[in-house]
């Protein structure tokens, strides 16, 4: 019986090793020169289908679907054992960040609108496939009470909090300032910058030296946008908030940085009631790379800012990822 037990144990050990090797081989770029990343980029769509979706927008409704899996990305355990909260984590950049954080070893809680439940569950499935926990926290970040409760719940259910990604956003295009209602102005600011303040203030109770805060800005916060006056104003505020908060927290050992993307294919723009389907079809094509970015192209920058191994001497930075544009800011 003892021999059979040892034999069974050896078989299980070999099977476990085979699974690990299979997973590792899938994660490895294909080809002698690691051609898979280049092939992946070459397959990114240059245009989208003409479309409109209802706000807040589901990623599952987009054509084509945004790419977040990052199959060529090779994790290295940079966030092993860390606990992260990501607002707007159900789709777009937030989903891609959540999945990469999980692949790097972090447990993640995501905040999202109740209408986005199906997207949030898909994000959860992908994060948990990496062997990490993913907690779902539905609610409205324009409510300061919810923001505080979301942070408390993330800390309680994850068993700690080390990383905060402020990413939730709202936008609606207009032709001129007079077209912005008081209600739209208020909603944009409460979602895009007030919520960053409320969530961050609540999180500081739990963040310790070595923690990191990462905000999502925008190219519009660097160079403005004539049809996104309120949105651009909030993104400029996020950039300044990042730099000011970095100065405020540096002595506490907490780093604060910001990623400022150009056009990225997420539900945000197709759900913009002020944009036409035809405009969505050519979204991003005016960039030097002649396309919108995919969420998986943005997510590694968040890993960089979250990782002490990569960016321990970096705080107060706004990293612009603009598809070849060099004049912003």
Q: Among 184, 249, 244, 178, which Cα is nearest to 211's?
A: 249
Please pick, among 73, 196, 206, 231, the residue that the annotation labels catalytic.
Answer: 231
Q: Give the whole-angstrom CA distance, residue 41 versus residue 227.
A: 30
User: From the CB of residue 61, how many other CB atoms can be counted at a distance below 10 Å?
Assistant: 16
Report the side by side order of strands in the sheet with 255-261: 134-138, 107-112, 83-87, 163-166, 212-216, 255-261, 318-321
Question: Catalytic residue at 231?
Answer: yes
What sign for the dihedral angle of Cα 242, 185, 188, 45? Answer: negative
In DSSP notation, 237-295 reads HHHHHHHHHHHHHGGGT-EEEEEEESSB-STTTTT-TTS-HHHHHTTTTTSTTSSPBPH
Would you please indicate which residues are annotated as catalytic (active-site) residues?
A: 231
């Amino acid at each position: 019986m003892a021999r059979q037990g040892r034999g069974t144990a050896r078989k299980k050990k070999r099977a476990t090793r085979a699974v690990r090797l299979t997973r590792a081989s899938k994660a490895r770029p294909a080809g002698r020169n690691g051609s898979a990343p280049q092939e992946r980029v070459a397959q990114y769509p240059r245009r989208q289908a003409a479309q409109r979706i209802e706000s807040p927008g589901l990623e599952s409704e987009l054509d084509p679907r945004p790419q977040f899996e990052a199959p060529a990305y090779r994790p290295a355990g940079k966030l092993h054992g860390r606990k992260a909260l990501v607002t707007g984590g159900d789709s777009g950049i937030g989903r891609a960040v959540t999945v990469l954080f999980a692949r790097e070893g972090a447990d993640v809680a995501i905040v999202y609108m109740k209408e986005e439940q199906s997207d949030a569950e898909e994000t959860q499935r992908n994060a948990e496939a990496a062997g990490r926990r993913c907690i779902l926290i539905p609610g409205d970040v324009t409510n300061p009470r919810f923001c505080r409760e979301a942070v408390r719940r993330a800390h309680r259910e994850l068993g700690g909090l080390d990383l905060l990604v402020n990413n939730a956003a709202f936008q609606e295009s207009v032709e001129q300032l007079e077209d912005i209602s008081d209600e739209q102005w208020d909603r944009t600011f409460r979602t895009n910058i007030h919520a960053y303040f409320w969530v961050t203030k609540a999180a500081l109770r739990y963040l310790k030296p070595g923690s990191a805060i990462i905000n999502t800005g925008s190219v519009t916060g660097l160079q403005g946008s004539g049809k996104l006056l309120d949105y651009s104003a909030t993104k400029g505020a996020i950039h300044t908030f990042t730099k000011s908060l970095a100065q405020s927290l540096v002595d506490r050992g907490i780093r604060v940085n910001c990623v400022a993307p150009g056009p990225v294919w997420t539900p945000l723009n197709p759900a913009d009631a002020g944009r036409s389907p035809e405009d969505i079809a050519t979204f991003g094509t005016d960039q030097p790379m002649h396309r919108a970015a995919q969420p998986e192209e943005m997510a590694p920058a968040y890993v960089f800012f979250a990782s002490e191994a990569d960016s321990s001497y970096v705080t107060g930075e706004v990293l612009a990822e603009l598809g070849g544009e060099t004049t912003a800011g």
